[in-house]
Structure 1
Amino acid sequence: MSNTGAVMQKTLLGWIISGAIADKVVSTSCNLSIDQGLDLKLSKFWDIEEVTSSQNNYTAEEKACEKHFIENYRRNEDGRFIVKLPLKENRQLSLGNSRDLAVKRFYALERKLCQQPTLKTQYTEFINEYVELGHMQRIHETKLHNADTNKSFYFPHHAVIKERGNCANSPP
């Protein structure tokens, strides 16, 4: 390393030293004086930037969520966190009345399937597979009419078929 010398420069924060210095420097000393105004500004800066605990600012719900995490988390073999989902106690389930919309969507789907026999076959196979896997079950008409609309939710849906080979990255 060549010794080109150190450069001292006065800045708003005081003197700084930059540049190369000799490898065999035995000791270095620095005398720094800061004017009173700058000292006050630096103090204010560090007061503003100081990280304080926001523990006291948590709501009761946030505190309960953090407590739940601490009591229920674990790490798997990959190092990922596994946490049991926190469920609210005394929650009110109010999803609204979705039956009318779901019935309208069903009739529209039925008309579409009648016009497209291939789609109807694929959709029927899919629905039957869902029933066989236990992902859904048939509800009889008497249960539909007696259901409490505030505790039941009907998912309006339509057939979505992923056709292979339409995208450049899709397998044939």
Structure 2
Amino acid sequence: MPHRIDLLISTQEFFDLLSNGKISLGPGLPCLVNTALGWIVGGKVSDIPQPQVVTCNMARSTELQDALERFWLIEEFDSHHQGFTVEEQECERHFLANAKFLTSGRVQVSLPFKENPHMLGKSFEIAKSRFLQNERRLNRNPLLKEMYVKFMKEYIALNHMQLASDFDSQKTHYVIPHHEVLRSVLRSMHHAKQHRTFL
């Protein structure tokens, strides 16, 4: 049925909405696909005779049109920009002075600071205290601890992180407190709960 457009979903988000469940209506007919938003129908209808009539439908939403126009205005690159601000110039200078091209093909550059990094204080002890607190909590939950340790080992194996063997707490530093984040995924077809950990 012709109807107004309520939502446009990009392909990047669309595939995350797909759930288990697909029903074929038969050869030459569309399929029903289960999603997080409900069942959707799509596909080709080839076996039903169609009259030689060409129909063109158009739906226009003023609110959607205005929102898209505002989006493109915000995202538009200003080719007539009259130069960088003082802060942007300093950031550019910092990048050119500190960028290194590694043998792996990656680019490494130190973080730019707007103010003296000494103002960050002694964050190591705070992060250490949070870590020990998290460790005690994980010891009370063997399953969660097993998932946490497995994930951390995988991160090391993939070179996403490495041990800081030469860390000097007396030098300027900032250590980010760390803890696990657990999300539960419910699969609608089997009504079974599966757990995936993101760190």
TM-score, length-scaled by structure 1: 0.42
Of Structure 1 and Structure 2, the greater helix share is in 1
TM-score, length-scaled by structure 2: 0.37
Of Structure 1 and Structure 2, the greater strand share is in 2
